[in-house]
Amino acid sequence: MPWTDCIWTYLSAIGAAIWLSILLAPWQSWRTRERLEVISGNESADLGNVTVLIPARNEADVIGDVIAALGRQGRGLSIILVDDRSEDGTAEAARRDTPENCDLEIVSGTELPPGWAGKMWALEQGRERLTRPLVLLLDGDIAIAPGALSALIDAKRAKGVDFLSLMAVLDMHGFWQALLMPAFVYYFKLIYPFRLSNGRGRLIAAAAGGCILTERDTLDAIGGFAAIQGAIIDDCSLARAVKRRGGRTWIGLTHAVTSLRPYNGFNSIWRMVARSAFTQLRHSVLLLLLSSLVFSLACALPPVILVAIPVLSAKLIAVAALLFMAAGYLPTLRYYSMSPWLALTMPLTGMLYLAMTWSSALDHWRGRRSLWKGRVYSRDLKKVKS
C-alpha cells in the first residue's frame, strides 16, 4: 500500500476511534438516561416554603407567560423578580400577569458594580431578600409545566441532593434551530457528562441555569453569588461552587421545562454559542487547537475521505466513523422528537460549532465579550457598556 494511502487510512481510523470511544466510555454521555419527566403534576401543592427568584432584563415579551406558568404550580408560592434595568416594561408586564395565588415582589435592580456579570448581580440582589428555605432560580424566559415544581421538590428530596437543575427544551422550530439546537444539548453533555456530574466527584460539575432548585442555606454557604460574580458560564460555576463545599448536585433532561426564547435563525444561535464557547475551554489556546484537531479529524475528515479520497480502506473506515457518529446522536434526536435523518448532519454541525468557538476566541482576544441582553464587557469585566 502506498504511504499516502496508509496516511489516509490512519487518519480515518483516528476519526472513527474518537466516535467509538464516545460510545464506549463508561459514563455514556450520549444517552438520555438522566431525565425527570412530570406525568401529572400536583397543581394544588402547598408551596409556602418556596421562593422563585427570577433575574429579568428586557423580557416583556415572555415574562407574562413565565409568571402565569408559576401560578399553575400550587398555592402560597413567593416570587421575587429582579428587574435588571429593563427598558421594555418587563416589570409592568410581570405585575399585570401575576396570578392571585402567588405573591410577587419586584426589585428594581441597581447599577452593575465593577467585576460583576449582570445576571449574577441581579440574582445577588434577590438572594438578599430570601426568607424561605427552598429557592427556584428561574430565567426570565423559562416556563415550567403545571404542577412541575412539586415534582422537582420531590425529586430533590428523593435523590438527596442540595442542588437540582433541569435542561429546558430549546426552540427547535425552523431549519437552523433543528440543525443546531439538538446538537447544542448533545455537545453540552459530551463536555459535561451528566452521569459524572451527578456523582460525588468534584471534577465535573454541570448545571442548566434556566431552572435550578436549591436551598437558601446552600447559597449562603458558598458566599452567595459573589462567589461567581464574574462568571460567564454561571450555571456550571454555581454547581462547581456547591460541590466544593461538599454539596451534591444533579442535572437532567426534561420536557417539563421550556425556553420561550425564540432563536431567529443562524445569527442568533451563533451569538448565543460564541458568547461562552471559548470560556468552556478556559481561554486556553492549547485546548482550542486541540479541539480544532479533534473536530477536524472526527467531523470534517470522514465525509471528505468518503467523497474525495480514492482509498478503499480509508473509505470503509470513514463509513464506520459516520455510523458511530450518527449512533451517538440518535438518542438526543429521539428524545426531542426530531427527524433521525438529522444524524447525518453531524459533520456539518460539528464544524459550525468549531467555527463559533473560534469566533468566541477572537472576541476574547479583542478584549470584548457580550454576556447578557446587550451588555458588552471588557475581557476583565471591569468596563461595562449597557
How do residues 32-78 score in pLDDT, each as one tens digit? 999 999 877 777 788 999 999 999 999 999 999 999 999 999 999 99
Predicted local confidence at residue 3, as pLDDT: 73
Predicted local confidence at residue 115, as pLDDT: 85
Please say whether the dihedral angle defined by the alpha carbons of residues 195, 198, 199 and 204, taken in this order, is positive or negative: positive
Q: What is the mean pLDDT of residues 354-359?
A: 96
Predicted local confidence at residue 87, as pLDDT: 86
Predicted local confidence at residue 375, as pLDDT: 62
Decide if pLDDT at 370 tops 60: no
Contacts (Cβ under 8 Å, ≥6 apart) of 285: 361
Decide if pLDDT at 385 tops 60: no
The CATH class for the domain spanning 45-274 reads: alpha beta
Contacts (Cβ under 8 Å, ≥6 apart) of 137: 53, 123, 209, 211, 212, 213, 214
Distances from the Cα of 91 to the Cαs of 60, 118, 120, 143, 371, in angstroms? 8, 17, 19, 17, 21
Predicted local confidence at residue 31, as pLDDT: 96
Residue percentage of the chain with pLDDT more than 70: 95
Decide if pLDDT at 355 tops 80: yes
Any idea where the domains of the chain sit in the sequence?
Answer: 1-28+292-343, 45-274
Q: What is the dihedral of CA 117, 120, 125, 130, to 10 degrees?
A: 180
Predicted local confidence at residue 1, as pLDDT: 59
Q: What is the mean pLDDT of residues 91-111?
A: 87
Decide if pLDDT at 264 tops 90: no
Residue of 109, 112, 120, 113 lying closest to 224 (CA atoms): 120
Q: Tell me the C-alpha distance between 344 and 172, whole Å.
A: 17
Residue percentage of the chain with pLDDT more than 90: 75
* Residue 52 grid coordinates: 422563585
Predicted local confidence at residue 381, as pLDDT: 53
pLDDT band at 369 (very low <50, low <70, confident <90, very high): low
Predicted local confidence at residue 383, as pLDDT: 40
Q: What is the mean pLDDT of residues 191-205?
A: 94
pLDDT band at 368 (very low <50, low <70, confident <90, very high): low
Q: Tell me the C-alpha distance between 190 and 203, whole Å.
A: 14
Decide if pLDDT at 100 tops 80: no
